[in-house]
Amino acid sequence: MNKTKLDNGKSIITVKGLVKRFGDRAVLDGVDLEIPDGQITVIMGGSGCGKSTLLRHLVGLYQPDEGEICIDGDNIVGLETKKMNGVKRKFGMLFQGAALFNSMTVGENVALPLREHTDLSEEIIQIIVKVKLELVGLTGFEDFMPHQISGGMKKRVALARAIALDPKIVFYDEPGAGLDPITASMIDQLILDLSRKLKITSVVVSHEMKSAFRIADKMIVLHKGRVLETGSAEQIKNTANPYIQQFVHGEPEGAIPFRQTSEAYLKGLLET
Ligand SMILES: Nc1ncnc2c1ncn2[C@@H]1O[C@H](COP(=O)(O)OP(=O)(O)OP(=O)(O)O)[C@@H](O)[C@H]1O
Ligand SMILES: [Mg+2]
């Protein structure tokens, strides 16, 4: 697939020293990262390593205990609601499981952010809804109800909604989860298309290796609440790090123990 160069020099998101504790456990324990502008960055790592928690910080749903999160020039940590709403206008989010409103048609779901955040006329809203549905390959589906379409189509409607306000950045949490491999690869193709055609910065959380390597310009590997390694897909594929090697190849034996005693598991939890 056609990939752009990894480094065009500009970061649209910078995270420094991000710490988040739940009780006495630091789930994020000093995360530093940069998201390059206009490219696809995949944040990966094992279950429970803090990927979704990190994503929730990036979209302002969680406040960190320590650290900075700069999005397009604004530090969003502790930012007042009005200013935060301005930053939120710059990004869209594709939640795991699509999260459509079941009592609304496909068209109404896509129109929702336009109705909430703009005072565009009904006529213009209908045109934008049409264009966005066309972009995700769902021309003419405006009047369908969510229960009348498949899981993959729901994801695409959710994506049309996420890009309704022409965001600079789209965040995806496990976009392929719950989809068959072919439908999941179609979603990957859409992420690539949106990134390449509309120059949207994409931040994708995933533990699907195939998908990650298909779409990533940059990869960030999280482990125990920290960034273990970053690099291009090629660099991560060829890393010498045994943990990442095992993770990338999905092997049961290696740096990550398959057989564990409950004591060792608890000890590992306490050490994170
Ligand atoms: N609101 C919360 N309160 C307490 N603990 C939490 C909270 N949210 C997340 N955690 C804990 O933080 C850790 C990281 O969770 P997170 O959901 O970020 O993992 P993840 O990397 O997204 O995992 P997965 O790949 O399974 O989705 C987990 O141990 C989880 O139990
Ligand atoms: Mg998660």
Instruction: Using most ligand atoms within 8 A of CB, pick from 20, 27, 96, 204 the residue to mutate for ligand 1.
Output: 27
- For residue 126, the model assigns a pLDDT of 96
Which atom number of ligand 1 is nearest to the Cα of residue 174?
A: 27
Average pLDDT over residues 230-235: 94
- For residue 96, the model assigns a pLDDT of 75
Which residue's alpha carbon is nearest to atom 16 within ligand 1? 50
Average pLDDT over residues 32-49: 94
Average pLDDT over residues 240-256: 76
Helix (H) / strand (E) containing 34: strand 25-36
Average pLDDT over residues 152-165: 92
Instruction: Using most ligand atoms within 8 A of CB, pick from 19, 51, 172, 206 the residue to mutate for ligand 1.
Output: 51
- Considering every ligand atom, which ligand is closest to the CA of 44? 1
- Considering every ligand atom, which ligand is closest to the CA of 62? 1
CB 95 within 8 A of CB 108: no
Which atom number of ligand 1 is nearest to the Cα of residue 205?
A: 22
- For residue 22, the model assigns a pLDDT of 94
Q: Give ligand 1 pocket residues (Cβ under 6 A).
A: 22, 27, 45, 47-53, 207
Could you give the CA distance from residue 177 to residue 188 in angstroms, rounded to a whole number?
Answer: 12
pLDDT tens per residue across span 109-122:
999 999 988 999 99
pLDDT tens per residue across span 46-73:
888 899 999 999 999 999 999 999 999 9
Among 6-15, 44-53, 183-192, the range scoring the smallest mean pLDDT is: 6-15
Which residue's alpha carbon is nearest to atom 18 within ligand 1? 50
Backbone angles phi, psi at 163, to 5 degrees: -105, 10
Which atom number of ligand 1 is nearest to the Cα of residue 49?
A: 21
Q: What is the domain partition of the chain in residue ranges?
A: 11-90+168-271, 99-166
CB 71 within 8 A of CB 224: no
Is a pLDDT exceeding 50 seen at residue 93? yes
- For residue 259, the model assigns a pLDDT of 57
- For residue 244, the model assigns a pLDDT of 87
CB 179 within 8 A of CB 206: no
pTM of the model: 0.86
Which atom number of ligand 1 is nearest to the Cα of residue 54?
A: 18
Residue 160 or residue 96, greater confidence:
160
Surrounding residues of ion ligand 2, Cβ less than 5 A? 52
Q: What is the 3-state secondary structure (H, E, C) of 62-74?
A: CCCCEEEEEECCE
Angstrom CA distances, 147 to 54, 62, 101, 129, stand at 31, 31, 10, 19
CB 9 within 8 A of CB 58: no
- Considering every ligand atom, which ligand is closest to the CA of 51? 1
What is the CATH superfamily name and number for domain 11-90+168-271? Answer: P-loop containing nucleotide triphosphate hydrolases (3.40.50.300)
Reported confidence tier of residue 254, pLDDT bands at 50, 70, 90:
low
- For residue 180, the model assigns a pLDDT of 87
Please provide the DSSP assignment of 90-156 as one string: TEEEE-TT----TTS-HHHHHHHHHHHH----HHHHHHHHHHHHHHTT-TT-TT--GGGS-HHHHHH
- For residue 111, the model assigns a pLDDT of 97
CB 37 within 8 A of CB 29: no
Average pLDDT over residues 78-107: 89
- For residue 267, the model assigns a pLDDT of 65
Count of beta carbons in the 10 Å neighbourhood of residue 175: 26
Locate the DSSP E strands across 138-246: 169-173, 201-205, 218-223, 226-231
Reported confidence tier of residue 4, pLDDT bands at 50, 70, 90:
very low
- For residue 263, the model assigns a pLDDT of 63
Average pLDDT over residues 30-56: 94
- For residue 46, the model assigns a pLDDT of 86
Reported confidence tier of residue 177, pLDDT bands at 50, 70, 90:
confident
Average pLDDT over residues 131-159: 91
- For residue 2, the model assigns a pLDDT of 40
Could you give the CA distance from residue 107 to residue 148 in angstroms, rounded to a whole number?
Answer: 13
Could you give the CA distance from residue 196 to residue 201 in angstroms, rounded to a whole number?
Answer: 9
